[in-house]
Structure 1
């Protein structure tokens, strides 16, 4: 019979050792976290929606664990407000958003312009704009379009790109940044 225990080493101790190693390995962006170059004890997100009037200011990750009840609240908040459809948002996108927010050292919440988009909403937006992808990651719950009053599109995009964990689109004319957990790439101006 084999025991799957490490003598004298706790899960928390291993996570702490990994976090310390990750921070040393990535000193330039040590204030980013998780899969984004260094761990922290908590991750939080602050957003509001001008479309629904709702806001959210919550801790969604504590000491290596996502909080399921909070993730449900975030999924509802980031729903397609046109159809009221909800999907499970990809946690990697939330991590990119939260790490970018932390890198910018800003207290202001994000304004969420678009989180999840149903295929119907995406098709409607695509018919009105050339900037909407046919197979948008918004339809998979893997993208968000965000704005901050206190930071420029360039500053937001630079923070998101520093995470090197997904796509970053700059939409300067519309004053927002797209962040997703897809392949690392950037576009826009």
Structure 2
């Protein structure tokens, strides 16, 4: 105990320890959700789209339930901006995005570079870059490419990888991190 009567353990440290035990106890997809526990049982995403100029600050999970109207807004925000086509984003990907943001301990919104991509957009991007997958999870609404101005690609990559909940790609030259809810894997330099 310290002089002021406190234990010297911060709430953040306590929550971090709880999240770490959750990881050990449940080495499945629930890892990302485990990093979100202790936040008043809410899940939130904050993003900005430089492509459209839109901003999103949305609580999409409250007390164990996804908020349908919030998910609709997120789906629209993460649409293929080239065609305005939307797809339901996989909530597992949203959980990875939110958990990574929490681990980074920032208030700054992500900059969204790419969320959902329609097949035509994916084919167009693939024709100009060998780094675009033919069967990209972006076309399933299961992936996002994100960056933060206050954190390096390496920092974001490490935080997303710590979730042990999907694919994480590090694109240092292009200054973004890919996150998806597919099989656990990582790549990039």
- TM-score scaled by structure 1? 0.83
Point out where structure 1 has 5 or more consecutive residues left out of the alignment: 1-21
**Number of matched pairs:** 165
1:110 aligned partner = 110
2:126 aligned partner = 126
Distance in 2 between residues matched to 1:127 and 1:178, nearest whole Å = 19
Q: Once structures 1 and 2 are overlaid, which stretch shifts more, 37-46 or 130-139?
A: 37-46
Q: Once structures 1 and 2 are overlaid, which stretch shifts more, 37-46 or 64-73?
A: 37-46
Report if the CA contact (8 A) 1:47-1:57 is conserved. yes
1:158 aligned partner = 158
Q: Does 1:49 align with 2:49?
A: yes
Secondary structure at the aligned position of 2:164 is classed as coil
Point out where structure 2 has 5 or more consecutive residues left out of the alignment: 1-17
Runs of at least 4 residues off by over 4 Å: none
Report if the CA contact (8 A) 1:34-1:95 is conserved. no
2:89 aligned partner = 89
Secondary structure at the aligned position of 1:79 is classed as coil
Secondary structure at the aligned position of 1:94 is classed as helix
1:16 aligned partner = none
Distance in 2 between residues matched to 1:167 and 1:24, nearest whole Å = 20
Report if the CA contact (8 A) 1:89-1:116 is conserved. yes
Distance in 2 between residues matched to 1:26 and 1:73, nearest whole Å = 30
